């Protein structure tokens, strides 16, 4: 398929020129995100798991694309993130990074890829980089500081993740909202400072109260990336399937739908099925024809073959 898309059948003509490619098309690095923090420019990050969606996200001008372990649920149908492994994540990482030219790509180290040993954490982080990622993300606070230091020592940038940590929270108390009490707030602040001191270039704050997320953002020199943590984080991240409205039913409070693609896709496929059943698709304009003289030759040959069989 050509990189230049033209759709004249519905009266529109869309080309690659309409897509945002950044001020200069320059490939973003962790240093760009740190500069954005200094300039008080918000960081826009989305998740993506496949080539085509990553291509759109990158052309739309997002600053970062997270290849999240949420792929376990939205792409593979698991009930949580725990089952997904390195091999599956590496497939998603490769698909995304082959599409991205500008955005910073961050691979989400899945459950089991760093808990066993420092060596495992470093080795798996290296595999993400070899798959094309620019950085990795790891869940946890002070307990993962030694892992972060070792991964960074190997030359790999690390994004932290505190607050609600989907990989393990359900194994304990499954509390989604963090920072509701003095004890919880102070622990989050300690974790954030420890991650920064360990060398993390940013930290995701998931389901942290607005007040505590604000305090953390004000007390760190690295950008905070919020998801369900209020407006005052240095940036935001949303799962692309959520912001595109690809789900029905109850939605998380912090999700905003910028499209309603579930209904659009459902209606399109339903109409396709109806057209097939009613013999309205394909039409002649969707079909191909052979030369009439060649068809006559084929029919003549078939007639001769039938005659020979009957004799």
Q: Is the pLDDT of residue 304 over 60?
A: yes
Structure tokens, 171: 């194994």
**Has 88 been annotated as catalytic?**
no
Express as a percent the part of the chain with pLDDT over 70: 91
Instruction: Look up tokens 């690809």; give the residue.
Output: 246
Q: What is the pLDDT of residue 250?
A: 62
Give the pLDDT confidence score for residue 9 in this predicted structure: 39
| Average pLDDT over every residue of 87-101 | 98
Find the mean pLDDT for residues 57-62: 98
Per-residue confidence (pLDDT) for residue 23, from 0 to 100: 44
**Average pLDDT, whole number, for the chain?**
91
Helices 118-130 and 145-153: crossing angle in degrees, nearest 10, is: 50
Return the CATH fold of 16-243.
TIM Barrel (3.20.20)
Binned at pLDDT 50, 70 and 90, residue 8 comes out as very low
Choosing from 182, 194, 206, 211, the catalytic residue is 206
7 band by pLDDT with thresholds 50, 70 and 90: very low
* CB crowding 26-59: b at 16 or more within 10 Å, else e: eebebebbbebbeeeeebbbbbbbbeebbbebbb
Position 43 pLDDT exceeds 50: yes
The sign one gets for the Cα dihedral 7, 11, 12, 13 is positive
Q: What's the pLDDT score for residue 24?
A: 52
Residue scoring higher pLDDT (309 or 270): 270
pLDDT tops 80 at residue 4: no
| 67 neighbors 48 (Cβ within 8 angstroms) | yes
Place of tokens 């003095």: 182
Q: Where are the domains of the chain?
A: 16-243, 278-310
DSSP-based three-state secondary structure for 213? helix
- What is the number of alpha carbons within 13 Å of residue 124 lying toward its C-beta? 27
Q: Tell me, what DSSP letter sits at residue 88?
A: H
Residue-level pLDDT at 249: 65
Residue 248 vs residue 221, higher pLDDT: 221
- pTM to 2 decimals? 0.88
**pLDDT score for 37:** 98
pLDDT for residue 65: 98
**86 CA to centre of own chain:** 16
| Neighbour count for residue 267 (Cβ, 10 Å) | 10
């Amino acid at each position: 398929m050509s990189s230049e898309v033209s759709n004249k059948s519905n009266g529109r003509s869309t080309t690659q020129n309409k897509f945002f490619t950044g001020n200069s098309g320059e490939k973003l690095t962790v240093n760009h995100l740190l500069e954005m923090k200094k300039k008080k420019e918000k960081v826009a990050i989305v998740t993506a798991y496949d080539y085509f969606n990553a291509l759109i996200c990158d052309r739309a001008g997002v600053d970062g694309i997270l290849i999240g372990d949420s792929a376990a649920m939205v792409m593979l149908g698991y009930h949580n993130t725990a089952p997904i492994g390195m091999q599956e994540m590496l497939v998603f990482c490769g698909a995304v990074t082959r599409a991205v030219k500008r955005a910073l790509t961050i691979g989400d180290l899945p459950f089991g890829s760093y808990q066993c040993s420092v060596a495992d954490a470093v080795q798996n982080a290296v595999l993400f980089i070899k798959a094309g990622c620019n950085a990795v993300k790891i869940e946890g606070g002070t307990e993962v500081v030694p892992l972060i230091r070792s991964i960074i020592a190997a030359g790999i940038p690390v994004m932290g993740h505190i607050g609600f940590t989907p990989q393990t929270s359900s194994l304990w108390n499954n509390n989604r909202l963090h920072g509701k009490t003095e004890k919880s707030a102070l622990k989050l602040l300690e974790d954030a400072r420890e991650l920064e001191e360990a060398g993390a270039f940013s930290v995701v704050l998931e389901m942290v109260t607005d007040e505590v997320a604000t305090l953390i953002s004000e007390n760190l020199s690295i950008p905070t990336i919020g998801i369900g943590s209020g407006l005052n984080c240095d940036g935001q991240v949303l799962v692309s399937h959520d912001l595109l409205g690809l789900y029905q039913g109850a939605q998380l409070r912090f999700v905003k739908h910028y499209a309603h693609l579930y209904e659009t896709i459902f209606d399109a496929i339903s109409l396709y099925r109806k057209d097939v059943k009613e013999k309205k698709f394909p039409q002649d304009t969707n079909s191909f024809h052979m030369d009439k003289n060649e068809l006559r030759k084929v029919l003549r040959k078939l007639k001769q073959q039938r005659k020979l069989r009957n004799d």
